[in-house]
Amino acid sequence: MKNPQAAVRIVEVGPRDGLQNIKEPVPTSVKIELVRRLRDSGLRTIELTSIVSPRAVPQLADCREVLGHADIKRLHNEQENRLPVLVPNLKGLNIAIDSGVREVAVFISATEGFSKANINCSVADGIERAGNVVQKALSRGLAVRGYVSCIFADPSGSPTDPSAVLQCVKALLGMGCYEVSLGDTVGVGCPTQVRNLLSYLVHNDVPVTRLAGHFHDTHGHAAVNAWEAYHCGIRVFDSSIAGLGGCPFAPGSKGNVATEDLVFMFHKAGIDTGVNLARLVKTGTWISRNLQTIRSAGQLLPDQSNRRLSGHAPTRTWSLQGKKSRVSIYRSDGNVKLVLNRVKTGNTITQKMINHMTTLIDQCNSDDTIHSIAITGSGQFFCMGVEYGNESASPKESDELKAFTKLLDLIDKSPKTTIACINGPAFGAGVCLALSCKIRIAVKAATLTMGEAKWTASSSPAVTPRREATILARPVTTSKLKSLGIVEQVVNGRDALDDSLEGALRSAQLGTRVTDRKPSATHDHPMSHVVSSSHKHNWMDVVMEVWHREA
């Protein structure tokens, strides 16, 4: 067989094949985040889940919730993505169709024993069932991918006759499957067996371009088997992030070949996969920690990735998740960034923006996959206040102010690390928005100004007497606020602010604080209690301390 140097396509099966054998329930939010991270790594084909009986595979009982999630639906709408869902029967297919799935996968076993254990029927009956699913799926405009299990042996150890594999492959292709994945389900194959089987299939008129390799790593042969398959003409390979996997119906079988190892191998050989290895490695580390599993992928890959990243903070890639009510939502790994987009009005906040941000912050607060929330503005201003829609109502009584106060308290009490990226001047409510965040970083040119007013407040409704202070409309520089411990870092320009945000996000993930102050910078300072106010008290207390004293 010829061995042309050509790119390969990776089919990520971690969210389905990788998770299905894990006993402890994996939260649906973690599954959604895993898919998002895999897609952000450059993977275009990701098997989402399997629509099976919860009794058979409890881990995938939330398949409908996964498929119905807004993030998954958004990925379905991106035409370059292939997001197959495994369906064992017509009932599962109907659920997939109702969920808006564009591609499904069917499977049959090449051995009678595994067919009985897996789907409780003979191989012939399994082929018939798959045919019924494929026929209806194609009639509804869905693409269909096929799997053949146990291409070398079944869990009992009985070797599989190559003619049985041929029968299954031809049946699936004949039904209309665009591709058939050959699965070494129990991971017993070796490179010689891979070459012999593929040679046999090609000799019997099976196009190698319609085949994919699916190798498990029970005996450590998965990567070399994939390499051998590549040299036999295979250009599509199934793999699982962090080497997760194992079949519930094949005791003792280990996970799929690790996606990280497969991508690393091909990249070292100069073969393109379209995948960002550094991001992929981070995803593997992340899911391994979430599942508290031992990472099956190459142990040196995370170290190599960290060494490459340690010289200088890289430009973080933020993926736009949506725009609504002049607020843009971006995401990067476990971080969310909200950007105010009313440049012509200095990013003043409307009632709709307040409501939308309140919903977003509330969702982030309850999402276990998110650990940091950053807030910043577009253009030259951070936020120049709240835009009051009802001119007859005083600001004190307005609906906007009540809703905005609720938003500030939600940010102030957030269990996440909240970061204000003060990209320019802030006024009034914009100052309060910045101070409601746990960490504040700012450009040197920014000033924070409160409107003149008389405030009455206390840290707790139970505290009496309540404190009163006159707040004067005097601008305070970010450098002054930094000296008081209110602002963590002051930098020159927007680019430096982005770098500072990167450092804050990394520190938040590590559980440390970002600061360029010396430890004793505010010790014994006459306003050192303001530092504690900024982290132990609410935003209102900080305003009363700083602007009252500045007056």
> Which residues on neighbouring strands pair with residue 327, listed in sequence order?
324, 340
Angle at 377 between CA 395 and CA 414, to 5 degrees: 75
Q: Is residue 63 annotated as a catalytic residue, yes or no?
A: no
Tokens of 42: 């450059």
CA dist., res. 129 & res. 239, Å (int): 26
CA dist., res. 350 & res. 356, Å (int): 10
CA dist., res. 383 & res. 435, Å (int): 12
Q: What is the edge-to-edge ordering of all strands in the sheet holding 476-477? A: 426-427, 447-449, 476-477
| Range 150-174 burial, b when 16+ CB lie within 10 A, else e | bbbbbbeeeebebebbbbbbebbbe
- Relative orientation angle of helices 259-268 and 222-231, to the nearest 10 degrees: 40
CA dist., res. 16 & res. 46, Å (int): 9
Catalytic residue of the set 247, 383, 421, 437: 247
Instruction: Count Cβ atoms within 10 A of the Cβ of residue 543 and give its class: 0-12 exposed, 13-18 middle, 19 or more buried.
Output: buried
Helix (H, G, I), strand (E, B) or coil at 40: helix
Q: What is the edge-to-edge ordering of all strands in the sheet holding 489-491? A: 319-324, 327-332, 335-340, 372-377, 417-422, 439-443, 489-491
CA dist., res. 19 & res. 35, Å (int): 12
Any idea which residues carry the catalytic annotation?
Answer: 247
